[in-house]
Every structure is written in C-alpha cells, then in structure tokens.
Amino acid sequence: MLARLQRFVILAVTLAALGWLVAWTSAGRPVLAVAGALVLAFGYVFILAVEFVLLACLHGRDEAPRAGPLQLLRAWLGECVVAWQVFVWRQPFHAARYPDVPGRPGVRGVVFVHGYVCNRGLWGPWLARCTAEQRPYVAVDLEPVFSDLDIYVPQLETAVARLEQTTGLPPLLVCHSMGGLVARAWLAATPGAAARVQHVITIGSPHRGTWLARLSRTTNSRHMRQASEWITGLAAREPALHTGRFTCFYGHADNIVFPACAATLPGADNRHLPATAHVAMVFHPEVVSEAARWLAASAEAISSGEAEGASSR
C-alpha cells in the first residue's frame, strides 16, 4: 500500500514540475520555469530545513548536547540525500528486492522493524549485507500504514516466531523510529517475549513521544505525541527489566524525534549519534557495528558451546 502511495506522489510531483516547466517556458519566462520546476521537484529539502529549525528552537533543557549550526547543516545535507534514496527510490520501487531469508538451525536471525511512513525498502543496504553474509532475516511491512500501533503487534509476533522456528534461536530486533515502540508494545503484550529476543536495537525511536507528532492527525502519530495516553499506558504495563535488553540510538540532530532524549529509555544502553538526522541514523556505521557486535557475540557463544560439548564427549 505505501509503495503504491509513494509512487503516486512521485508521479504527481513529476507531472506538476514538467507542467510548470513547459507552461512558463512557452510564456517566455525560462528562469521562472526552471526555478519553479526545481522547487516542485525538490521541495522536500525546504520541509526538512523547517524541521531542523524547529528542533534547534525546541531543544530547551534537554540533557543531550545542543547541536551547533555546522552540525545541523551537515545533518540537513545528509538527510536531503538519504531521504531521496529512501522515499523516492528504495521504498516505492525496491521494497521487494530482497525477500526474507528464514534461515537455518543454529544461525541467529534479525527482525527489521521500520518506522512511520516507511516499508521494508528502508532496510535495503542492511538486507543486502545480510544476504551476502547468509544471515537469516525477516523485514516486516507494518500495515495498515496509519493504524493504531497495537495493530502491528501480531505482525511482529509472526516475524519473531518465523525466525525462532527456522533457526532455533531468539532473533536480534533492529527497529527504526516508530518500530521501536512496536517492539516495546509486543514485549509488553506477549507473555515470555523477553526471553524470545536476543536484544533490541532502536534507532531514533520516540520512546517518550516527539513534539513533531502534534502536527499530524493519523492514529499512530497521535500515539507518538509527548505524554500521549498510549505512551503513558505502555510505560505503565511493561516490566522495568525489559529496558535492559535495549540499545537506544538518539541524536541532537534528529529532525523527527525531538527533544533528543525522547529517544532514550531509562535503564537502556543509550548511545548519542552527533550531527546525524533521523533517517540517516539507520545507516550510521556505529549502528551497523552494534548489530554486528551482537550477532558476532552470538556466533562466539554458539561455537563455545559446541566446543564444550565436544570436549565433554
């Protein structure tokens, strides 16, 4: 559904830009024609700029270090590139490029959980790496796109169960933005779920809500507002020990989840990523390395267990 919607938006914007270009060129105004077409085609960069201005103005007394002008500029430029790659190329046209790999016994898998207005295409570079390394994975598509967050819990349960059954091991969860809240909702709603995952890595997840969500009216965005009834209820019903299973990446240049510490959890391993915007955080080398570290530790533990078993025989 989301891929079709994004393809429709891309087509509409392209036709509008071409129409403007042709109309004003025919009217003898070539400069206006080109300028207007560029604004229509790349208007998203101005929307991103507004988000960065808002996060800078609303930092307040947040515990995260305040991002400087050059750090914000660097993050904005990076996000302009990454947003085009994700929302104009990977998600609309290549969401199914890398099919899920259910795996084989003894090789730990990864469940990828995307965020708001995203699909599994977000994870393209991650899935390519997993495929090359023969790493089992399931990348979920959370749909309906704008529904209640609790609707997604059974979808995550299906993904986790699939890797459990094929590998015999609890998978690693890697979650971006809203996906981190879905992981927490699944842990809170599913008896024994904590023992069924190796670890949970969240990337820019609005664990305490985000100021920006007040500008949207969809059901899941209302859940992600600061101090929303949904977030308050989730915190009340999840066991405190769950947060020890989390590594939470957050950043002072996150243009979607701000103030920055809204993406942290008490008791979790909270890691700050400087000068990195919301979608770009998904591909930050430190995030990729952290996932690789957990998977490598898993492999070492399995090898150690096999060696001990052989020596005992």
Contact between residue 18 and residue 37 where contact means Cβ atoms under 8 Å apart: yes
Residue ranges of E strands in the chain? 110-113, 137-139, 172-176, 199-203, 246-250, 269-272
pLDDT value, residue 299: 60
pLDDT value, residue 306: 39
- Let me know how long the chain is: 313
pLDDT digits (tens, 9 = 90+) for 255-282: 999 999 999 999 999 999 999 999 999 9
Minimal CA–CA distance to 193: which of 165, 170, 221?
Answer: 170
Contacts of 183 (CB under 8 A, 6+ apart): 113, 156, 173, 175, 200, 202
pLDDT value, residue 309: 41
Place of tokens 């664990």: 207
pLDDT value, residue 99: 97
Contact between residue 210 and residue 262 where contact means Cβ atoms under 8 Å apart: yes
pLDDT value, residue 304: 46
Is 163 strand, coil or helix? helix
pLDDT value, residue 238: 87
Q: Write phi, then psi, for 137 (nearest 5 degrees).
A: -160, 155
In degrees, rounded to 5, the angle at the alpha carbon of residue 91 between the alpha carbons of residues 260 and 56 is 20
Element (H, E) at 255: none
The DSSP call for residue 64 is S
Interatomic CA distance for residues 176 and 116, integer angstroms: 9
Q: How far apart are the first and last CA of the chain?
A: 55
Interatomic CA distance for residues 10 and 27, integer angstroms: 26
Residue type at 189 in one-letter notation: A
pLDDT value, residue 300: 55
pLDDT digits (tens, 9 = 90+) for 226-235: 999 999 999 9
pLDDT value, residue 103: 87
| pLDDT < 70: residue spans in the chain | 241, 298-313
pLDDT value, residue 241: 62
What average pLDDT is seen over the chain? Answer: 94
Interatomic CA distance for residues 36 and 53, integer angstroms: 24
pLDDT value, residue 311: 38
257: its two tokens: 């989840």
pLDDT value, residue 290: 98
